[in-house]
Amino acid sequence: MSGNNINAKIRSNPKFAELVGKRTRFAIILSLIVLLPYYSYMLVVSLQPQLLASKISDGSVITIGWPLAALIVIGGWLLTGVYVSRANGEFDRLNEEILKEARK
């Protein structure tokens, strides 16, 4: 079976459109969840730095900005794990079904 024939079968499969749509929507949602806090933090740093400069407690050298930045980074890591988990589960299953149908 030629590669062009398989490609045509895959592209015409409704499951392929479903996979592309689900994966795209999921990636956009996760990207927004990561980027909105990041850019909000950058705006606060540039426009109102005194908000993040206050100390966590009396006598502490750590400001509020450090833990917030750490949470943003950790959140990005966790959301990457969420994407990988779904990609290795649901998206891979759909992909295998599409390939199986295309090879028939």
Give the end-to-end CA distance of the chain in Å, rounded to a whole number. 10
What phi and psi values does residue 55 have, to the nearest 5 degrees? -75, 150
| Residue of 75, 82, 9 whose CA lies nearest to 38 | 75
Q: Tell me the pLDDT of the chain (104 aa) as tens digits.
A: 566 788 999 999 999 999 999 999 999 999 999 999 999 999 999 999 999 999 999 999 999 999 999 999 999 999 999 999 999 999 999 999 999 999 88
Q: What is the DSSP letter of 63?
A: B
Structure tokens at 81: 């794990």
- Residue 19, judged by CB atoms within 10 A of its CB (0-12, 13-18, 19+), counts as buried
